[in-house]
Structure 1
Amino acid sequence: MSEFAAGPQAWVGAWSEKRASLTPDREGLVDATTGDRFTYAELDRRANRTARLLREHGVADGGRVAVVSRNRPAVVDCFFATGKTGGVLAPLSHRLAPPELSELLERVDPGLLVVETPFLADVREALDETDDLDTTLLAVEAAGSSEERGEISTYADALPEDASPVETAALSPEDPHLLLHTGGSTGTPKETVVTHHGIVWNSVNTITAWGLRDDDVTPMVFPMFHTGGWNVLTVPLWHMGGTVVVAREFDPGDLLRVIEDEGGSVLVAVPAVLRMMTDHDEWETTDLSTLRFAKSGGGPCRQSVMEAWWDRDVELSQGYGLTECGPNNFAMPEGWPRERADAVGVPAMHVDARVVEGGEEVQQGAVGELELRSPHAAAGYLDNPEETEATFGGGWVATGDLARVDEDGYFHIEGRKKHMFVSGGENVYPAEVEDAIAGHDAVSEVVVVPVPDERWGQVGKAVVELAPGAESLSLDDLRAFLDGRLARFKHPQHLAFVESMPTSGPDKIDREAVTERFGE
């Protein structure tokens, strides 16, 4: 590695400073909740004030600031400011229970903890369970009474008035900038160490693969405690000088209105959000003509949802990513055929991908574990050498997801490796079965889980959320529908219903909750 590549570089963390010098009057952030709008020059001044606050509390040169908040400008301030100071931002999910927050806080060990007022009670309870964590607690300037905040100072009151330029830390690209926790589907989430190097390379991969432009506008529907909140579109658009729209909460109607009012040009959301938008009363009347493309991520998107977007002349395709790598790893080739809509595309410019079994690549069309290699991969898990070695130790990132590659080089995700089950000696991949079941008019959402069977060892149980207007669905009707669509051994042998699917993270279906209730 050259001395330039390995040595300190002032630009590595100077995102807001660099963008403010290039496009000072262009809007980088819009707060849809309050109507406030911020140019890049204003964002940089806010970051300077926050950088001074962080240095007052020792959050520099590797020091950590944790944030428990919904999407709001103060969280953006902390991102830009930690870049300036050489600090590390650790956004934590406000959806976690106090014991989970307590464990993560002890792991992150922040010098400063910034909390939105609605979550102060849970954070206080979490802090009471830690072993003398030495941190300063500040309440974000959210709605809430002084009684709720108690003696805690507010972030706004604590900010220094001086917004003049600060000395930017000279950082190595390998220095960490974000600690992002995984979904936490089993046990307490792991903290993934994301370096400046990884953030920059994911941005480059996203811009080159998706064709992002400096005039792009996106409503950011992923929470900023999630890699989707930062690395799917937010940081790549700031890299280009585009505009990111945030809000405390987004419902489908609000999202449609933001696209129309702000001229949204790119949208990435989970399948559930995309489906709820198509079901909304304003779907047909909303002007979507500014949308250049939309992408679905976080799970398989049903064909019916994709067709609804295509019918509105919006190019919707599926993506694939994870906290540990990217997350933007694939892109659909130019002019891709609609019959490949179930694929996530081909590897992005600076991404290698392969499908393996026992460390060896499988033949074309065979299912195996997806492994990725890219300069945008994370550095590992915080203080977890065993898990780091298991996921990152072989020179490739082991995703834990099953995939196959078709004859045209498109990658297809077949579900999580741990969700696969064996029925009568045959592998069954729930994602494939769910996709077939979702084609039934009576089905809105479906999760297939394995249950014990005396004859076959394991068989599938389909857990179904009925579509609006559908009164019932029998197992016999469902199996008749699947005849000719799926091999008989893949057909579910049991059927159960839920009023609505449980969710986790950014509106993703919580498979573990479904399995715990209906599975083995």
Structure 2
Amino acid sequence: MTWGEPAYEWVGDWTGKRASLSPDRTAIVDEGYGESYTYAALDRRANRTARLLEANGVVDGSRVALVTRNRIEMIDLFAACGKTGGVLAPLSYRLAPPELAELLELIDPQLLVIESPYVERLEHAIARASVEPTVLEIETDEPAGGWGIYDDELPADGSPVASCERSLGDPHLLLHTGGSTGTPKETTITHGSIHWNAFNTITAWGLRPDDIAPMVFPSFHTGGWNVLTLPILAMGGTLLIDREVDPGRVLEQVESEGATVLVAVPAVLRTMARHEDWASTDLSTLRFAKSGGGPCRDSIVQAWRERGVDLTQGYGLTEIGPNNFAMPDEFEPEKVASVGRPAPYVDARIVDEDGSPVEHGEIGELELSGPHAAAGYWGNETETAETFGEGWISTGDLARVDEDGYYHIEGRKKNMFVSGGENVFPPEVEDAVADHPAVEEVVVIGVPDETWGTVGKAVVEGDESLTIEELEAFLDGRIARFKIPAALAFVDEMPTSGPSKLDREAIAAEFGESA
């Protein structure tokens, strides 16, 4: 190695570097067990786990698959993979055995770590897959038997391990997409992607070393890692983790732990605002909250802002970010309907069907670019070429830029429909319908119509005494006539996919035949 040539020993050593700077600062509070870990303790755990990975061949690009709820071991495995050069692939415990089998074949892990509640599901998946990983069980229920127990196999030695030189272009995480159509794709998240997203988040959102944040996304989702977990750990802040996302427990944690930052999907924020402890919970420590994973209704934003919490909307996806936008200082209140302006190291543009940039105010597809982008889809060159293109990520989302440079998301490109020659964007209609006092949640889909080709149908969770005539009268003058739904249907509870995101495909499959 010549002078000036980087060794990149720092690239994967998340816990070692922070422990050398902030050894006694609290890194993780595991609310499930009531345990807390300093950065020094976290690094010792990572060193023990790195020795476990080395003993099982998870080095230099080899994979370890993980199926678990949010617990300290997921952080251990992430940090240990950074130290050994391994790649962590968290898998959703919500997937069916055939889907898990396909992902296991794609990932081809050396090691598979499973929390007890999901052992049976993974047994079926492994039986279907042509892979033979070493399997270890994180014991939380009665052990299944036949597999090693994770804690028993974990070495006791927490002393520093030999450093591993990694490039910013090497993979660190494989995160699968939502999987709303077919088996999810595995997205290759490099060390550089992770570091640059953390840098964007810290600089655009103003994260601080004294920030305390509940982590309410699952660990198999990009939200579980890149929204707050890794940016907070990079800053030396404190992360609160819990097994399940219970709105009442999150409220309790905000008050008891003095949380300063909260990011959650709209469904969680809505449920928290309707919880019986909402009015009595002290939210004064929260510097800000953000909604991500889908459009946030105005009623939810207002409920939080009435409690003195600065709630705004974020935007991102597994393939890039996911933290791409931020609200500027002293923004006008009405701009809260937008996702803000691009973060410091993000390029954004809106293009037409031919890929040419459109004028300000026009709606087109949002494309993003920056050093925080993923490297592509693992083992899928065709899909990589289609989505990642020539330096720009095609998001599949429609958006526009207003006269002040704020970006507004208008919905998924595939969800837009044409009614009588006019484009209808469901989020706009849903916002208007959601203002009706009888509506708790709504999804608008396009359905066939003999006269107009396609019309809207509002699928509502709420008071089933609401009639389509009452809804039409309520919307008259609020939105254009061609946007007003022509039909109405009800569900007891909206189906969800991924991290509590509304499952539009499931709704369209059940209600999309006709008006």
- TM-score clears 0.5: yes
Query: Which residue number in structure 2 is paired with residue 430 of structure 1?
Result: 426
Q: 1:370 aligns with which of 366, 373, 380?
A: 366
- Give the 3-state SS of the residue equivalent to 1:360 in structure 2: coil
Deviation sequence 1:461-506 (CA, Å, 0-9, x none) = 100000xxx4521101111111111111111111000011011111
Distance 1:261 1:166 in 2: 36
Deviation sequence 1:193-235 (CA, Å, 0-9, x none) = 0000010000000000000000000000000100000000000
Q: Is residue 2:117 matched to residue 1:141?
A: no
Query: Which residue number in structure 2 is paired with residue 442 of structure 1?
Result: 438
4+ aligned runs moved over 4 Å, structure 1: 2-5
Evaluate the alpha carbon distance shift between residue 385 and residue 8 of structure 1 in structure 2; reply closer, same or farther with a 3 A threshold: farther
Q: CA deviation at 1:13?
A: 0.1
- Give the 3-state SS of the residue equivalent to 2:337 in structure 1: coil
Deviation sequence 1:154-189 (CA, Å, 0-9, x none) = 111100111110012100110000000000010000
Letter in 1 for 2:488: L
Query: Which residue number in structure 2 is paired with residue 485 of structure 1?
Result: 478
Query: Which residue number in structure 1 is paired with residue 182 of structure 2?
Result: 187
Deviation sequence 1:324-381 (CA, Å, 0-9, x none) = 0000000011111111111000000000111100211111111100000111000000
Map 1:117-516 onto structure 2 (within 5 A): 117-131=116-130, 133-142=131-140, 144-146=141-143, 149-357=144-352, 358-466=354-462, 470=463, 472-516=465-509
Distance 1:383 1:93 in 2: 19
- Aligned-residue Cα RMSD (Å) equals 1.1
Q: Is the Cα–Cα contact under 8 Å of residues 350 and 399 in structure 2 kept in the other structure?
A: yes
**What is the TM-score with the length of structure 1 in the denominator?**
0.97
Deviation sequence 1:410-439 (CA, Å, 0-9, x none) = 000000001111111111111111111111
Distance 2:124 2:482 in 1: 49
Letter in 1 for 2:389: G
Distance 2:67 2:471 in 1: 44
Evaluate the alpha carbon distance shift between residue 4 and residue 433 of structure 1 in structure 2; reply closer, same or farther with a 3 A threshold: farther
Deviation sequence 1:44-69 (CA, Å, 0-9, x none) = 00000100000011100001000000
Distance 1:3 1:434 in 2: 60
Deviation sequence 1:311-333 (CA, Å, 0-9, x none) = 11000000000000000000011
Q: Is the Cα–Cα contact under 8 Å of residues 232 and 238 in structure 2 kept in the other structure?
A: yes
Letter in 2 for 1:458: T
Query: Which residue number in structure 2 is paired with residue 44 of structure 1?
Result: 43
Deviation sequence 1:431-450 (CA, Å, 0-9, x none) = 11111111111111000111
Gaps of 5+ in 2: none
Evaluate the alpha carbon distance shift between residue 417 and residue 3 of structure 1 in structure 2; reply closer, same or farther with a 3 A threshold: farther
Evaluate the alpha carbon distance shift between residue 471 and residue 510 of structure 1 in structure 2; reply closer, same or farther with a 3 A threshold: closer
- Sequence identity of aligned pairs in percent? 63
- Give the 3-state SS of the residue equivalent to 2:394 in structure 1: strand
Distance 2:486 2:4 in 1: 61
- Give the 3-state SS of the residue equivalent to 2:349 in structure 1: strand
Letter in 2 for 1:24: P
Q: CA deviation at 1:141?
A: 2.8
Letter in 1 for 2:211: D
Q: Is the Cα–Cα contact under 8 Å of residues 8 and 167 in structure 2 kept in the other structure?
A: yes
Distance 1:150 1:280 in 2: 41
Evaluate the alpha carbon distance shift between residue 210 and residue 3 of structure 1 in structure 2; reply closer, same or farther with a 3 A threshold: farther
Distance 1:350 1:337 in 2: 23
Number of equivalences? 511
Map 1:62-77 onto structure 2 (within 5 A): 62-77=61-76
Distance 2:491 2:407 in 1: 32
Q: CA deviation at 1:3?
A: 9.6
Q: Is the Cα–Cα contact under 8 Å of residues 464 and 490 in structure 2 kept in the other structure?
A: no
